[in-house]
A and B are shown apart, each in its own frame.
Chain A
């Protein structure tokens, strides 16, 4: 039972344009959502998060949008840069939970 799903295994975007990565979840108890970024041969690193009391959180070029009724969140990167090429994991957790549930990841490639 995949509680967090990233249905696009890969995404290719031109440098300077917007990258939109999508994530869906099924567990209504999830109320915190996070994005992690992973470069090859490295461990994932935290990127940005959002609480269910918000519908948007912004940090520089990165914005996460949350649509609770659709159980959907998205990560927007504007403008996209070559250094953004990486695998992006969506993750979710419930308040008080001791663990995260990760999606399968989306490989983002930014083309010059």
Chain B
């Protein structure tokens, strides 16, 4: 099992560019999450999904979009990148509700917007 994989590992974008952060899990988990981690700010939830075809906003969804067409994949789309989106992005998955089911995290994508 590869667990949760994220690509790319690093990326530099110019202001106004767009990109998609890829996330794939091979554990047949229903729940998937996107977080961002800013220095000293912990993990902030961007979007989450409880199953294919179902997505919902987290704390900081502005400037991002997601889709969940399969159980395995949960891509995060950045439109019109801004310097405020410079962060480390983590994708995570769990079998069920996160209170009772461990969340498994990917290694992260470090994004810089200049």
Contacts from A to B (Cβ < 8 Å): 6, 9, 31-32, 34, 36, 41-46, 49, 89, 91, 93-105
Contacts and interface: CB of A to CB of B under 8 A. Distances in A.
B99 A43 contact: no
Contact of B42 (A31, A46, A105): A105
B90 A104 contact: no
Contacts of A101: 45
B26 interface: no
Contact of B103 (A94, A100, A103, A104): A100
Contact of A9 (B40, B58, B102): B40
For the residues of A in contact with B, the DSSP-based class is loop
Contacts of A98: 31, 48, 50, 56, 97-98
Interface stretch (B61-69, B70-78, B105-113): B105-113
A96 B50 CA distance: 12
Given A9-B40, A102-B43, A41 B108 contact: yes
Contact of B108 (A36, A43, A96, A102): A43
Which of the four size classes fits the interface of chain B?
A: 20 to 34
A71 to B, nearest CB: 17
B106 A43 contact: yes
Contacts of B105: 43-45
Contacts of B97: 93, 96-98
A106 B31 CA distance: 26
B41 interface: yes
B21 interface: no
A32 B101 CA distance: 11
A100 B108 CA distance: 18
Nearest to A95: B99
Contacts of B43: 44, 89, 102
B96 to A, nearest CB: 9
B107 A103 contact: no
